[in-house]
Amino acid sequence: MKNVDLIINARWCLPMTAEQLVLENHSIVINEGNIVALLPQTQAEQLYQATQTQNMDEHCVMPGLINNHGHTAMTLFRGLADDLPLMTWLNNHIWPAEQQFVGDAFVEAGSALAIAEMLRGGTTCFSDMYFFPEATARVVDSSGIRASLGMVVIEFPTNWAKDVNEYLHKGQALHDKYRHHPRITTNYAPHAPYTVSDQTLQAIIINAEELDLPIQMHIHETAAEVNDSLAQHGKRPLARFKDLGLLSPRLIAVHMTQLTEEEMDWCAEAGVHIAHCPESNLKLASGFSPIAELIKRGVNVSIGTDGAASNNDLDMFAEMRQAAMLAKGVAGDPSVVPAYQALQMATINAAKSLGIDSVTGSLEIGKAADIIAIDLSDIETQPFYDLPSQLVYATGRDKVSDVWVAGKQLLKQRQLTTLNAQHVSAQAQQWATKIRSVS
Ligand SMILES: CSC[C@H]1O[C@@H](n2cnc3c(O)ncnc32)[C@H](O)[C@@H]1O
Ligand SMILES: [Zn+2]
């Protein structure tokens, strides 16, 4: 008998390693934060002795979800400015509010709120793009979640940095500080085509190559963005970035609602990844990303919530369902983006785009134990025929009962173990009182 830290016995297990593979009555054996075996429960009982055993008798156990694009601390602006198009929302509401309130304390409180919400919804990893990422990093570190934090660049002064040099310098400092952290990686996060110059993008491409990091950027979010670029540069943003050499497997293009056939071919040929944000695109009426067409061409598509000020939640179960449904509507074909593909987008595809698929994104021996358990015993999930279908089309985030990241339990029967939910809520309410009194 081998001694191990934890055994999770699962009624159903969806490892996300092979199309439609569903294991029944299997055990996930975990030691020092990693998965060391995945085998039938009867065999596990003979081979392993665990310090702790968790029986998930009515649950599906699967890899934690990866929210592949967001602005964590914007949870504190949830509901501040609704029902507006992107540029009105940014120029008249969000950027002024950020100028007034965003700082280290704001980002720490907003990140704690976001991470609490994400963990309770089965998200074990997120990719972020926001100011004061060192404050987010502290909460990632103490809460136990996994994250890829953006080294943001936006070419106007903000409370975080006065110019491009300072943005790049502060980003580099973040990268240096966390480069050996077991759960924190970094990515370059130039904001958008209309806020970052060619010269800055060239510097970012070189830096990203040197540090071997992904680059995430809002691209082709709206038709107005594309038209403005035509007026200013004589090119659509994607053509401009193709000429700059930005289209490569490093790039995670966020949104991508406006695409010609030729542009989709460029993305496929260059190995560009796409972070699809269906709810944000719907709420701001930004457009519809043709993800079925992109997937058909072999483009790696993942899912993000975007910030809570344009969504207005960080619910990856809702996002998976929207992604599947919207793709069918856009393609006029119900067979596109079936449930299993939506689950891939929310797990392994995101891990691949972030360059962390050797660590997370599926349940495999040698990977970190980033695991969620979903209770399928309730009335809303009866009867039961097909597991992926049940998870994407019938289940909600409230059915996530338990969450582990790197083998540490962060949600236990829906209770957060590392974050104080009352304190997190109280802080958010204090910020809202302050923001309300000024706005
Ligand atoms: C440089 S930090 C991120 C910056 O982006 C703003 N933002 C939030 N959501 C969106 C979106 O959908 N498109 C463009 N910009 C967005 C956020 O408020 C920060 O200023
Ligand atoms: Zn965004």
- pLDDT tier at 20 (50, 70, 90 boundaries)? confident
Grouping H, G, I as helix, E, B as strand and the rest as coil, residue 174 is: helix
**Residue 24 φ then ψ, to 5°:** -115, 140
Query: CA geometry: angle at 279 spanning 389 and 116, to 5°?
Result: 85
**Residue 218 assigned ligand-binding role:** yes
Strand 273-276 with 408-412, pairing: unpaired
Q: Are strands 34-40 and 23-31 parallel, antiparallel or unpaired?
A: antiparallel
pTM of the model: 0.98
Q: How far is the CA of 192 from the centre of ligand 2 (A)?
A: 9
What the chain holds in terms of domains, given with CATH numbers, is 2-63+371-405 (2.30.40.10), 65-354 (3.20.20.140)
C-alpha distance from residue 241 to each of 55, 208, 251, 285, 305 (Å): 51, 15, 10, 24, 24
- pLDDT of 439 over the 80 cut: no
- Summarised one tens digit per residue, pLDDT across range 77-116 is 999 999 999 999 999 999 999 999 999 999 999 999 999 9
69 is in an annotated binding site: yes
**pLDDT for the residue 438:** 80
For the residues 395-417, what does the mean pLDDT come to?
98
191 Cα to the center of ligand 1, angstroms: 7
pLDDT of 19 reads: 81
Ligand 1 atom with minimal separation from the 74 CA: 18
CA distance 409 to 186: 24
**Residues with Cβ within 6 A of ligand 1?**
71, 86, 90, 94, 98, 129-131, 152, 154, 191-192, 218, 221, 280, 306-307, 310
Q: How far is the CA of 71 from the centre of ligand 2 (A)?
A: 6
DSSP state of 368: B
pLDDT band, residue 221 (cuts 50/70/90):
very high
Amino acid at position 66, single letter: I
Closest Cα to atom 16, ligand 1: which residue? 90
Residues near 271 by beta carbon (within 8 Å), at least 6 away in sequence: 248, 249, 300
Ligand 2 center to 181 CA (angstroms)? 25
ipTM for the predicted complex: 0.99
